[in-house]
């Protein structure tokens, strides 16, 4: 099932002045989508700015949650093999229509990072924990 109003979502994205580097095809997110994850009923996909994350450089994540009623409460990341997290705490802000912007991400080492997207849907917490390898 596709989003009922894909064009209105596009307009809303433009209306709040965002660079259209996130392409939204609506919910549900196809299982083969890159940069996506799910936990229970919650799906997420994301893009970053810059598109290629650089070691030690801040980046912004744009996260789309499905269903759009899900809330993104918190984002964190750790390197499980090294038993450390990030040196900064990112901030999360809602953009509406299931879109969220995460600022202040910095991955200070190359290697495997485990993202932690803490979400809530209908009062139930769901943590999405995809792995991302930074080269």
Q: Residues 66, 79, 92, 128: which binds Cu ion (CB under 5 A)? A: 79
Query: Shortest Cβ contact with Cu ion: which residue?
Result: 82
* Sheet of 91-96, strands arranged across: 36-39, 42-49, 58-66, 99-106, 91-96
Nearer to Cu ion, 32 or 81 (CB): 81
The dihedral of CA 20, 103, 50, 77: what is its sign?
negative
Structure tokens at 101: 């912007």
Q: How many of the chain's residues bind Cu ion (CB under 5 A)?
A: 3
Q: Does 82 bind Cu ion (CB under 5 A)?
A: yes
Q: Which part of the chain contacts Cu ion (CB under 5 A), choosing from 43-51, 79-87, 93-101, 114-122?
A: 79-87
DSSP state of 3: -
Q: Which of residues 83-122 bind Cu ion (CB under 5 A)?
A: 109
CB of 58 or CB of 111, closer to Cu ion = 111
**Buried (b) or exposed (e) across 111-120, using 16+ Cβ within 10 A?**
eebebebbbe
- Least distance to Cu ion, CB of residue 14, Å: 38
Q: Which residue ranges make up the site for Cu ion (CB under 5 A)?
A: 79, 82, 109
């Amino acid at each position: 099932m596709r989003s009922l109003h894909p064009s209105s979502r596009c307009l809303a994205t433009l209306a709040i002045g965002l660079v259209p580097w996130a392409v939204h095809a609506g919910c549900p997110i196809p299982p083969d989508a890159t940069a996506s994850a799910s936990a229970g009923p919650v799906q997420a996909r994301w893009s970053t700015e810059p598109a290629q994350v650089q070691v030690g450089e801040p980046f912004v994540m744009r996260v789309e949650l499905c269903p759009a009623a899900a809330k993104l409460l918190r984002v964190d990341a750790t390197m499980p093999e090294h038993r450390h997290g990030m040196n900064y705490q990112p901030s999360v802000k809602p953009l509406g229509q299931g879109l969220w912007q995460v600022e202040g991400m910095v991955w200070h080492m190359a290697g495997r990072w485990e993202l932690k997207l803490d979400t809530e849907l209908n009062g139930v917490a769901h943590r999405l924990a995809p792995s991302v390898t930074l080269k």
